[in-house]
Structure 1
Amino acid sequence: MTGPTDEEIRNVIMPLMLSGAKMLDKHCPKCGSPLFEKNGKVFCPVCEYRAKKRMERAKGVEERLLEKLNELAGSLPSDVEVLEKHLSAMEKIIDLIRKYRELEGEK
């Protein structure tokens, strides 16, 4: 991972400094950003910001998968062969949703 981007400096680090958080003389072993302390908690604001962004992207993908699943469930065909394809697609979507949720649990 790389150090903080210009966007992260503007949107994460600067507001944190203005809020009274203390920038420490230690750096994050993952991204190289300065560590901060606020309310007795030492943390890397850049890694927290990036984790939040990843979660938002994963949530967006999950929502789109759920929409597609509902669409497929609402239009089940009567033809058996087409129905089998529908159900197979639904099963794959459910597996993807499950995998996204497992990834969320790991973070």
Structure 2
Amino acid sequence: MKGPTEEEIRNVIMPLMLSGAKMLDRHCPRCGSPLFEKDGRVFCPVCEYRERKRKAEMKEEVKDVEERLREKLTQLANSLPEDIEELEKHLRVMEKIIDLLERYKRLEGSE
């Protein structure tokens, strides 16, 4: 991982300095950004920012997947076949989709 980008300097480091955080003479071993201290806590603002950004992106991806699963579930529910064997297959697929949606909900709740 490389050091802070211009965007990160502008949006993360500068506001932190203006808020009274103390820039230390040590650097993050992961990204090379200066470490900061505020309220007795030493941290790397760039790594924290990147982690928050990554989580937000993942959350958005999960929402997209959930939306596609719901659409597929609705599509399947609106096109139930009359043949018993095909209907059973259809229902098994719907059950798997519902199971996946429930798993996503549990994952969201654990954050």
TM-score (norm 1): 0.77
Q: Distance in 1 between matches of 2:65 and 2:59?
A: 10
Q: Aligned-pair RMSD on alpha carbons?
A: 2.7
Q: How many residues are treated as equivalent by the alignment? A: 100
- Which structure: larger Rg? 2
* TM-score, structure 2 as length reference: 0.75
Instruction: Give matches, 1:1-107, under 5 Å.
Output: 1-75=1-75, 76=77, 77-79=79-81, 80=86, 83=90, 87=94, 90=97, 94=100, 101=107
| Distance in 1, Cα, partners of 2:14 & 2:59 | 27
1:41 Cα offset (Å): 0.5
SS state at 1:2 partner: coil
Percent of aligned positions that are identical: 51
